[in-house]
Chains A and B, each alone.
Chain A
Amino acid sequence: MRKPGLVLLVLVLVAGSAVGLAACGGSSGKEGGTLTGTYASFPDYLDPALSYQTEGWTAMYDTYLPLLTYAHANGAEGSKVVPALAESMPKISNGGKTYTLTLRKGLKYSDGKPVKASDFKSSIERLFKVNSPGSGFYEGIVGAEEFAETKSGDISGIKTDDKTGKITIELEGPRGTFTNELGMLFAAVLPADTPAKNLTSDPPPATGPYMITNVETGRGWSYARNPHWAKDNSQISEVPSGHVDKIEIKVVRNDSTQVNEIERDKADWMQTSISADEYNKVKDKYEGTQFRVEHPINLYLFWMNTEKAPFDDLKVRQAVNYAIDPEALERIYAGSLAATHQILPEGMPGHEPFDLYPHNMAKAKQLIKEANPADRNITVWTDNESPNNEAGAYYEGVLNELGFNAKLKEINGDNYYTIIGNESTPDLDTGWLSFYEDYPHPNDFFQAMFSGESIAPTGNTNLSRIDDPKLNAKIVKLDEEPLGPEQEAEYAALDKEFMELAPIAPYGTNTVSTFVDSEIDLDKVIFNPTFGQDLASFQFK
């Protein structure tokens, strides 16, 4: 006789297994766990007011929130500005000079203190007190310039009401990029009593889903979930809550070692892009499963000093553009570079592809013959990081082939921009540069690199020293207007107008890579074009 109890037990077990399998079904992934990541270098700062490097921005994107932020999404979607601590996008009035926002109610910092509207004002003032490299983005606020000079009093153009959460910002003049600038990490809201000094070793309390818990400067840092996120701040639906419970980041200087650690399951993710040496090996082995190519918005170029011979001659500059062979540079960058001959890279609003200078060495030599420059001694500047120094060496060879006497000067990457941005440095003829967007707005490229206003005795970003009044006026005009299809078309035209003057020889946009451990769901990892990998998107399978 059969035992009905045993049969029933088996049936229950089978049914239970089926339900269990369905629940584990693969699409949702695992919540919790500790993500281990590696960086090749410690970020410049772990203070949102001071960091101006991708490493720092990636580290703090999910920790410190401004009133607005950039969508936690890949590609072009990630370039959109969305509300963060503010309830909604700003109301812009008074001819583009007044921005009104309202702070969401009930927000708290990770230490339990309430977030107040006046904290925004003090956070912006703190930028000037700590001499933040980002303070320039906010100098257009009424009273900001005086505050920057005196560092006393307050910025009169920012008015706040802690009871209603209303924040009103008055600008000196309309500024089409101000919405983007409100989304930068520099504008992250911190408690009003945050000390006006570098807080890297003891970061301030967070408003995002994660908080930094422990910092060993130079060696690594950790995150834990913000205890006040779920209850108080998760109303910010535009910012994901994160999947992992903890994140441990350590500095591993050698990128080959970082690759090894992921392959041996000792690390889950490397922030550093894989070096050219290992790039193709890793790509061939892991693409689609653990490796993905990302496309941040950037431009790699050679600048030419238009105030100094021989680059004060348009024909010489055009000749250089014709002479540069993008195919050679693609090989120097081991296939990670996408060639371009224009200013606005793909992905940037206003980008419309064109090529005024397709590679033609014969034409380049003809132009040099016509120009017949008297001064043929050229110093070519580059930093010493591979493959940028090789790009510089290639450029030196091209100039020599054109009949110049070019000499390469390699400078340590830590000092490179300081040295070439200082007008007292001798022989600033031409050199290498990479420019990564501060925010996805074409003005970011034109203002910094081509506006006459940007020429400065130190910290100069307009290395070509081009100062065309007509084009300067166009930059100013477009800066005042909110970005729309009409403005994008005008930026595309401006791109062409500048390239006709050829103050630079752009050669490509570089890609970066996301490489993760096999336990991480690569499809879920978000790469924001401005902030890099989104720590809140990492999830274990």
Chain B
Amino acid sequence: MTAGGPWRLAWRRLRRNRVALGFLGLFALIVVFCLAAPLWASEVAHTGPNKTHTLEKIQAGGEEREVVNREGRPIGPQWFEADGKFFLGADGRLGRDEMVRLMYGGRTSLEIGFAAALLTTLLGTLFGLLAGYYGGWPDTLISRALDVIWAFPVTLLAISLGLVLAVGGLQIGPLHLSGSSLWITILIIGGVYVPYMARPIRGEVLALREREFVEAAEAQGAGPARIMLTELLPNLSSTIVVFFALNIANAMLLEALLSFLGVGVQAPNGSWGTMLSGGLDLLTSAPLLTYLPGAMILLTVLSVNVFADGLRDALDPRSKVRIEAHSGLTKAESVEGIAP
């Protein structure tokens, strides 16, 4: 069987899974929606995500309307009555365009989701590989370090780190990240989920390590690095891909929570989480400001999760990977086909 064989088979299985493909399509739509932010902002809304319009008036529906009235109430959705300006209304008493902020906020949330997921996947795979392959004291060292992180509830750990780093930022040697840098949030979210990927990967590596093809490679004089890269990693690829997709969903959820609590994305950057938090102040008078970012988070996380589920089934239908949600955390255990 050629190297492309299993992937082609997986693609055929995935193609038959219309639900998974449907949600992939939804996710793609959301991504396109967010990527179109600069276009909408410049060509339709004619404003930026942070530009305030508290005292301005617009022409809509043949009349002049205040963006924010004297009582601090923001204008509601104008749809196309104002040629696309304030399509979803204003975001609050600052009078920022809600549609523009939703699109740019989505870019931030997706950016953090992808970057943090990538970081988790890279580090999780690396530590899992090293611990599982070498065993002995490297395994002990890595596993115990991961246990320390694992011991903390992910949410509390992330909140604590966010609180501490929000003010002074992070200094690592010559590298300084300010407290408002998105990289702080990416590093926190990416870091706290590493044990939740490294442990299952380690488990898989422990099983694979005893297989004949690894022994054969060792007998042929292949070094550890080559074995890990050319023998073990390809056999982990389906697991890694599924984990990556799930990590995106987890990262986006955690980012929304941290930003909602004020310890994630920092002003002036906006994300769906910060928009959720801001919308709470106007929950009774302008509930759309809360529902919209909440709906976007829901749809995005749902579409990623459903697609990841379908992807898992497509990549390795014989091995059932049971995903348990535990207090908002994700850990994966294999039931058959992969040793714990």
Contacts and interface: CB of A to CB of B under 8 A. Distances in A.
Interface stretch (B34-42, B127-135, B282-290, B304-312): B282-290
A407 B268 contact: yes
Contact of B93 (A281, A325, A331, A410): A331
Nearest to A278: B284
Contacts of B283: 256, 277
Interface string B239-281: 0000000000000000000000011001110000000001001
B334 interface: no
Interface stretch (A227-235, A243-251, A382-390): A382-390
Contacts of A412: 163, 262-263
A30 to B, nearest CB: 33
B32 interface: no
B94 A256 contact: no
Given A330-B70, A331-B72, A389 B267 contact: yes
B19 interface: no
Interface in B115-135: none
Contacts of A256: 283-284
Interface in A322-346: 325, 327-328, 330-335
Contacts of B179: 409
Contacts of B93: 276, 331-334, 387, 390
A280 B266 contact: no
B72 A276 contact: yes
Interface stretch (B49-57, B185-193, B211-219, B318-326): B49-57
B203 to A, nearest CB: 40
A408 B51 contact: no
Interface stretch (A299-307, A392-400, A533-541): A392-400
B73 interface: yes
Contacts of B70: 330-331, 335
Interface in A206-246: none
Given A331-B69, A334-B72, A407-B268, A394 B54 contact: yes
A179 interface: no
A393 B52 contact: yes
A92 interface: no
B281 A393 contact: no
A314 interface: no
Interface in A15-61: none
Contact of A390 (B92, B262, B266, B284): B92
Contacts of B94: 332, 390, 393-394, 397
Interface residues on A, range: 35 or more
Given A330-B70, A410-B262, A277 B55 contact: no
A277 B268 contact: no
A393 B268 contact: yes
A409 B180 contact: yes
Contact of B52 (A276, A278, A333, A394): A394
Contact of A277 (B68, B263, B267, B285): B285
A94 interface: no
A275 interface: yes
A425 interface: yes
A416 to B, nearest CB: 10
A293 interface: no
Contacts of B281: 275-277, 386-387
B222 interface: no
A410 B267 contact: yes
Interface in B81-138: 92-94
B52 A281 contact: no
A478 interface: no
A138 B52 CA distance: 46
A130 interface: no
Contacts of B262: 384, 410, 412
Contacts of B167: 409, 411, 415, 419, 425
A333 B278 CA distance: 14
Q: Which of B55, B68, B70, B281 has the most chain A CB within a 10 Å cutoff? A: B281
A389 B278 CA distance: 10
Contacts of A396: 268
Contact of A328 (B55, B92, B267, B268): B55
Nearest to A398: B52
B267 A335 contact: no
Nearest to A280: B71
A325 B52 CA distance: 13
A419 B94 CA distance: 26
A335 B285 contact: no
Interface in A153-211: none
A327 B284 contact: no
B285 A281 contact: yes
Contacts of A332: 54, 68, 72, 93-94
Contacts of B50: 393, 397
B52 A407 contact: no
Interface in B63-85: 68-73
Interface in B145-191: 163, 166-168, 179-180
Contact of A397 (B52, B166, B278): B52
Contacts of A334: 71-73, 93
B62 to A, nearest CB: 24
A397 B51 contact: yes
A6 B2 CA distance: 115
Contacts of A384: 262
A328 B54 contact: yes
A331 B92 contact: no
Given A390-B94, A412-B262, A331 B180 contact: no
Nearest to B96: A393
B197 to A, nearest CB: 31
A334 B267 CA distance: 21
Nearest to A393: B94
B199 to A, nearest CB: 33
Nearest to B52: A397
B284 A281 contact: yes
Nearest to A275: B281
A394 B71 CA distance: 17
A331 B68 contact: yes
A454 to B, nearest CB: 23
Interface string A407-448: 111111001000100000110000000000000000000000
A415 B262 CA distance: 13
B182 to A, nearest CB: 13
Given A277-B284, A277-B285, A328-B54, A393 B72 contact: no
A331 B54 contact: yes
Contacts of A426: 168
Contact of A333 (B72, B180, B266, B268): B72
Contacts of A328: 52, 54-55
17 contacts: A275-B281, A276-B72, A276-B281, A328-B54, A332-B93, A334-B71, A384-B262, A387-B281, A390-B93, A393-B94, A397-B50, A397-B94, A408-B268, A409-B167, A410-B262, A412-B263, A425-B167
Given A412-B262, A412-B263, 10 more contacts: A276-B93, A325-B55, A331-B70, A332-B93, A334-B71, A394-B52, A397-B50, A397-B51, A397-B94, A411-B166
Interface of A: 256, 275-281, 325, 327-328, 330-335, 384, 386-387, 389-390, 392-394, 396-397, 407-412, 415, 419, 425-426
Q: Which 4 A-B pairs have the closest CB atoms?
A: A334-B72, A328-B54, A280-B71, A408-B267
